[in-house]
Chain A
Amino acid sequence: MSYSKPKVGVYICHCGTNIAGKVDVVSVAEYAGTLPFVESANEYKFMCSDPGQQLLIDDVREKGLNRVVVASCSPRMHEKTFRKATQTAGINPYFFQMACIREHDSWVTEDPVKATAKAKNLVRGAVSRVLHHEVLFSGVADVNPNVLVIGGGIAGMQAALDIADAGKKVYLVEREPSLGGNMLKFDKTFPTLDCAACIGTPKLVSVGQHENIELMSYCEVENVEGFVGNFEVRVRQKARYVRLDKCTGCGDCVEACPITIPSAYESGLKTCHAIGRNFAQAIPSAFSIQRMGMPPCQAACPAGVNAVGYMTLTGLGKFDEAISVVRERMPFAAICGRICFHPCEDACKRGQLDKPLAICHTKRFLGDLELKRGVFTHPPMKEPREGKVGVVGAGPAGLSAAYYLALEGYPVTIFEKLPVAGGMLAVGIPDYRLPRDILEAEIKNLMDMGVTIKTGVSFGRDVTFDSLKKEDYRAFFIATGLHRSLSMGIEGEDLEGVIGGTDLLRSVSLNKDASIGDRVVIIGGGNVAIDAARTCLRLGAGDVTILYRRSQAEMPAHDVEVEEAEGEGVKFTFLAAPTRLIGENGKLKELEFLKMALGEPDESGRRRPTPVEGSETIIEVDNVVPAIGQMPEAEFLAGLGLEADPKGRIVTDEETLATPQSGIFAGGDCTLGPASFVEAVAHGRQAAESIQSFLEHGGLREVKPKEKHLDPGLTEEERKRARPIQRQKMPALAPDRRNVNFAEVELGFTEEMAMAEGQRCLNCSICCQCGECTRKCGPQAIDLNDHERIHELDVGSIIVATGFKIFDPTPLTHYGFGRYPEVYTSLQFERLNNATGPTEGKILTKDGRVPEKVAIIHCVGSRDQAYNKYCSRVCCMYSMKLAHLVKEKAAAEIYEFYIDIRSPGKGYEEFYNRLQEEGTHFIRGKVAEVTDIVDDPADNGRLTVVAEDTLARKIRRIPVDMVVLSVGLEAADGVEDVARMVGISLDADGWINELHPKLGPLATPSDGIFIAGCCQGPKDIPDSVAQAQGAAALALSLISRGKIEIEPTVAVVNDRLCTGCKTCVELCAYSAVSFSEEKKTAFVNDVLCKGCGTCAAACPVAAISVQHFTPDQIFAEIEGILT
């Protein structure tokens, strides 16, 4: 409240007859004059006019007024005008209040008496309020001169060029890999028939070369914050996988790419490859690769093997290239292909259709092929370098680490306690699953790379960390696995004849000897139990039973193994657990067990077995083999001096595999617990990377961005790509030939089988990163390790030019799109006409004939109550253009079925006349259906268009060779996201809402956001270009003003009242309120605050209020209106 006495001037505007025609303005003015503090009250015809404003200004000066009330139109129209006038008169503009007696009164009240009374109330309210107004000053912010244009079609490019020519910087963000939008897809454009490429490509080139335009292609806007003059934009650049600066556009890569998909650019009329370019003249001219994400197979593999890559190459018969892909992530193809539990196959999307790809068997085929040829393909080895690394344990984890370290050039020595290398591969997995010679051959490969393996060396006894450090070893990887059998903890376990599962397998592997009697009981349900059981059969035991305390469903062993065991004659007793072992003279004689019942689930999620009272059973046995789990050797662990968890697993960092001791890393079973071969191999690679970081950078690592995973659900496009090939069945030894020896049971795929399997791949990631294109690329422009990037931009204004998409006519089943091959959308037909399209510009049916008759159906999806009610504005013209092109190229008869012909532009009506003179048959009437039923047998193979010819009053049935549907325009996909990000809205048809349909087509209610082109509504190219230039002008106008006013109607916190509840902070939709812990008060960022008042309403102690909308002011207005 100011200190001087308020002197209010009131002005009642007639607004011509808009207000005065309903409201008695004279009496309202008289009434206003009687109100307290009102010095003068007048009515005037047009307050917003110059004399009207001058009246106000003069009164203020001459009568010493310090408050002004104008009762006229909506504040949205003229609040700014009158505030400025008030300011010109010499008083603070916020001492002004407007009463709306037009939109709120004269325009909506029927009775003049009531309207006048209401006007008086409103004026009284305004006068009452203005007495409480305070001095306020607008803030000022700078306008960032950079401009963001979203969309690289004709409108976006034109706007960018105009702004850039004015010397300002433009960021042009286009989500396709190249510029041009829809226009560049067309052939000739109406009405001049100049070709779109001829007029469009110069624009493309100008944009590409302009020093002020930063072209961000294959990018999408992800987030926009800030306000006019000061926007912060986050742009996501998709991975192109091709270097823009190196690609020459030669196209060699396309021929090499094995993937074919329907081309979206050609509207499905043609196929394209995963690597490609929209058309030859594209800017940027570089190619790009479509990669949808990491496919489920690769994502599921602990080692990250690129399954889709090597399967695709195998499908083509390119076995050498396929094995190269395998060896990037899996050193042991022949081993892995025999024993892996293949989580990749469980994730394979083909499995949702019929059966997953036989990824594992195929890998085995590739590994075996190389072994047969005596070849070992691996990534190129780097130059030898310093840094001896010691690996403890020659199991899969240790061997894998050695492989990767050797590739990097490090000298590696593996110390292995047992007399053979291989770890569990040698002494845990029996020969009939993994033959000795295969294992030895793949280990020899490593040795050929320079890896040294010393067997018979016990770490902790023969060598120690200290002894090795003295020999210059600088880093160590502990991969000792878990070789000790877990004991059951029951009476009699030390009797002769009791052999641990792992011990049994090891003995057999090393000595091929183990004294096994006839009746053997294996305790346990995992893979070791199964392996032990099948081994016992092969050793001659006649009666082998697996005793498991849960039921078959809970068995951890892989189903395939259980089936094979059953097939070989292993018996199973479920829901039984041993209680004691009974011996005689120290030798095992009998086993006693209890029956079990399943109770509540335990921490593994499986139901806990509970003993059934009194169900003890005793059976005679020769041997009992406990195979219930594995553990490390405790003394060894203690000797290492490394920390272990209660289960005996060495503690390491999950990412780096580093132990707390510098330079010592650990991985595989000894850290994971009993895991799998592929997890161990993955750890080996992880450790190698960490060791390299440690040796080169002291442990610092580059954080690499991770590729996003594909959605695991099968899509329609993927389903359509499936070739009708069944999953190949692995040939195997006949069941009766199996359990008598240790020969390999599974025999392996042939070349034909592997190729067939590779061809079953659905290529869900599209690009499979097989590397064929990389190998073919002369300039070495392809980088398959590319990834998404985020860019942060600062701009002052944004022009949205996102364009349109065509209406999809599939739901209009009576037109037969998608049912009959010769029904096309207009865009498809444009591609047929375009010289860079699927037929190089010739008009041909899908079976290669030149059409004799073509029908063009107008208004498909437009002017339609059931779809889009609006007229799409360009279809009549483009239909006629297409008719002309058909006439020219194919000399066919054209039938155009229309409702009305709309040809309003310059030269448009003349174009229509020309088409009529050319002999196009224009038939006024909606088409009822397009059908393949013809009445004359001579027309067999044609389509019949059935329509009412309303001018001739006949039903026409016209047989034609091709039907073109002139589909309407709709807003482009994703426009709702862009609109939401920049803070604008869409209308009911999906087009962006402009500020005013007549006077403000390019501005939006959000300051600084402009629109141009079809995103605002369907239009032709001349109008799009005009709008683009207009939007550019608006942006430049903002820039040239240089500064913008920030309204002071923002929230303010009274820090003495603030209690720190932070309710306001959470409520603010614009993130304008924060809390300062030091000052213990909330505070408002007045540039972000939009003055919505939510925080003020919510504050429980009324510590926040919105300037110019304080409770006093609001209540005063309400009281004024109501009394």
Chain B
Amino acid sequence: MKYGFFPGCTYEGSAGYKESTEAVSQILHTELVEIEGWNCCGATSYWSLEDLPAVVLPARVMALAEKQDFKEVVNVCNACYSTLRKAQDKLAKDERLMAQVNEALAEEGLSYTGSTKIRHYMEVLVNDLDPDDIKKHVKVDLEALIVAPYYGCQLNRPWGDMDDRQHPVMMDRLIETLGASVPTDYSAKTLCCGASHVMPYEKNCLPLVKRIVGDALSKGARAISTVCPLCQFNVDASQSGLDLPDIPVLFFTQLLGLAFGLEEKDLQLKKLLVPFKTN
């Protein structure tokens, strides 16, 4: 299956997300074809500031996808996913704004109709593939590994149309399909990690990460799995200030790679700040 792929700005720089995603998507035959000429989605900060330009940024990405004949745009970042969907919703309700956006896009010969479906790679694996399609590639026994699935706050809210807003289960099922275990009652699944406020308001954000990490540890997890580069970074990097035992924070694609028995060059686990020990 071929999907339009929107990597987002943080994809390359994140701790092994790119390498693991590329390797895993090959094995699972989910071809992620990068959208040519994509731009930053504007994420959360721009969205709060400037109305029209904030909408044009994500609209341009979707317009490029339309032009390049992609019916679906797959994201690997919660903020990109959320921003694209929010823009799509906003433009669907506001004809005047859509006309303005298209006027701006027309400068480049682009046009936005809102026909693309916005996906996240994690839910693509859960919804579009049969569990057996994933299971058959599993080579490593991860039964002893308890992984806390951390979804982040933007994936299921406000829509809640793919999974429960408060206690989602999609990633839990994916982890179990790989043969690993999840804690039965991880409560911090959708808590905020602080997002971009972690830089200017570090002290205020520490309690947020403490809850995510603390609950994972108290429920018996030995690793945390994420679906967003900023979530991964925040929870990984903030642990030094937490006064709690360390817990490695992996991308879900790295977890898939571990289960499939991939090598370090595809996993890049060494890039994690809190190291992941395979024992």
A354 within 8 A of B: no
A935 within 8 A of B: yes
Q: How many residues of B contact A (CB 8 A)?
A: 13
Residues in B neighbouring A814, C-beta threshold 8 A: 165-166
Distance of A110 from chain B, by nearest CB (Å): 29
A819 within 8 A of B: yes
Interface residues of A in 790-839 (CB under 8 A from B): 813-814, 819
Question: Which of A813, A819, A932 is in CB contact (< 8 Å) with B165?
Answer: A813
Complex Cα gap A929–B215 (Å): 16
Complex Cα gap A739–B185 (Å): 56
Known A813-B165, A813-B167: A933·B215 in contact at CB below 8 Å: yes
Return the CB mask of B152-172 against A: 1 if under 8 Å, else 0. Answer: 000000000000111100000
Distance of A815 from chain B, by nearest CB (Å): 9
Q: How many residues of A contact B (CB 8 A)?
A: 8
Distance of B63 from chain A, by nearest CB (Å): 33
A728 within 8 A of B: no
Return the CB mask of A930-965 against B: 1 if under 8 Å, else 0. Answer: 011101000000000000000000000000000000
Complex Cα gap A755–B185 (Å): 35
Contact, CB under 8 Å: B215 / A813: no
Question: Which of B164, B166, B210 is in CB contact (< 8 Å) with A929?
Answer: B166
B194 within 8 A of A: no
Residue of B nearest to A928 (CB): B166
Question: Which of A813, A819, A933, A935 is in CB contact (< 8 Å) with B188?
Answer: A933
Distance of A559 from chain B, by nearest CB (Å): 29
Contact, CB under 8 Å: B166 / A933: no
Distance of B79 from chain A, by nearest CB (Å): 21
Residues in A neighbouring B165, C-beta threshold 8 A: 813-814
Complex Cα gap A933–B211 (Å): 7
Known A932-B187, A933-B188: A813·B164 in contact at CB below 8 Å: yes
Give the one of A819, A929, A933 with max B CB within 10 A. A933
Contact, CB under 8 Å: B185 / A819: yes
Return the CB mask of B212-244 against A: 1 if under 8 Å, else 0. Answer: 001100000000000000000000000000000
Return the CB mask of B94-116 against A: 1 if under 8 Å, else 0. Answer: 00000000000000000000000
Residues in B neighbouring A929, C-beta threshold 8 A: 166
Complex Cα gap A932–B215 (Å): 9
Return the CB mask of A909-939 against B: 1 if under 8 Å, else 0. Answer: 0000000000000000000010111010000
Distance of A823 from chain B, by nearest CB (Å): 13
Known A933-B187, A933-B188: A819·B211 in contact at CB below 8 Å: no
Contact, CB under 8 Å: A932 / B185: yes
Complex Cα gap A933–B185 (Å): 11
Residues in B neighbouring A932, C-beta threshold 8 A: 185, 187, 215
B207 within 8 A of A: yes
Contact, CB under 8 Å: B207 / A935: yes
Distance of B230 from chain A, by nearest CB (Å): 21
Complex Cα gap A819–B164 (Å): 14
Question: Which of B167, B207, B210, B215 is in CB contact (< 8 Å) with A819?
Answer: B167
Residue of A nearest to B167 (CB): A813
Complex Cα gap A933–B189 (Å): 11
Complex Cα gap A819–B188 (Å): 14
Residue of A nearest to B207 (CB): A935
Distance of B209 from chain A, by nearest CB (Å): 12
Interface residues of B in 179-216 (CB under 8 A from A): 185, 187-188, 191, 207, 210-211, 214-215
Distance of A293 from chain B, by nearest CB (Å): 35
Distance of A325 from chain B, by nearest CB (Å): 41
Complex Cα gap A364–B128 (Å): 52
Complex Cα gap A91–B214 (Å): 89
A interface residue numbers (CB < 8 A to B): 813-814, 819, 929, 931-933, 935
- Return the 7 tightest CB-CB contacts between A and B, nearest first: A813-B166, A814-B166, A933-B215, A933-B211, A931-B187, A933-B187, A932-B187
10 residue pairs of the A-B complex, CB under 8 angstroms, read A813-B166, A819-B167, A932-B215, A933-B188, A933-B191, A933-B214, A933-B215, A935-B207, A935-B210, A935-B211
B interface residue numbers (CB < 8 A to A): 164-167, 185, 187-188, 191, 207, 210-211, 214-215
Q: A933-B215, A935-B211 are in contact. List 10 more A-B contacts (CB 8 A).
A: A813-B165, A813-B167, A814-B165, A819-B185, A931-B187, A932-B185, A932-B215, A933-B187, A933-B214, A935-B207
